[in-house]
């Protein structure tokens, strides 16, 4: 479980919380797949847009819950290995109220 927050000076302006499970993968596998997928899809891979990538035995899918933006987003990332889900990450976040 984690949280990421972006600050402007000392004021928090954006934040995202996430939780997931990758017990069926090593940390190196997760890092390698996410890096490859997000680099390959860098023009479109955003947590508020659907994204799909496949290479070898791995498949990455990002499924937003609604048509959002960086202002408001929620959804799930998944990794499949040999067509079996081995990773998921649930996320939600957006800009903070002024």
* Torsion 6-69-41-43 (CA) sign: negative
Q: Is 68 helix (H, G, I), strand (E, B) or coil?
A: coil
Per domain, the residue ranges of the chain are 19-89
Radius of gyration of the chain (CA): 14
Looking at per-residue pLDDT, the higher value among 81 and 42 belongs to 81
User: Percentage of the chain with pLDDT > 90?
Assistant: 67
pLDDT, residue 44, reads: 62
Task: Tell me, yes or no, if the pTM score tops 0.85.
Answer: no
User: Each residue of 41-72: pLDDT tens digit?
Assistant: 766 656 667 788 999 999 999 888 888 788 89
Whether 13 and 96 have beta carbons less than 8 Å apart is answered as yes
* Torsion 12-47-86-34 (CA) sign: negative
Looking at per-residue pLDDT, the higher value among 2 and 47 belongs to 2
Reported residue count of the chain is: 98
């Amino acid at each position: 479980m984690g949280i990421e927050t972006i600050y402007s000076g000392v004021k928090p302006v954006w934040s995202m919380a996430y939780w997931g499970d990758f017990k069926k993968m090593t940390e190196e596998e997760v890092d390698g797949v996410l890096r490859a997928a997000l680099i390959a899809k860098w023009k479109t891979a955003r947590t508020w847009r659907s994204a799909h990538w496949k290479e070898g035995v791995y498949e990455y899918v990002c499924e937003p819950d609604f048509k959002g933006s960086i202002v408001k987003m929620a959804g799930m990332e998944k990794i499949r290995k040999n067509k079996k889900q081995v990773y998921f990450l649930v996320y939600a976040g957006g800009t903070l109220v002024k």
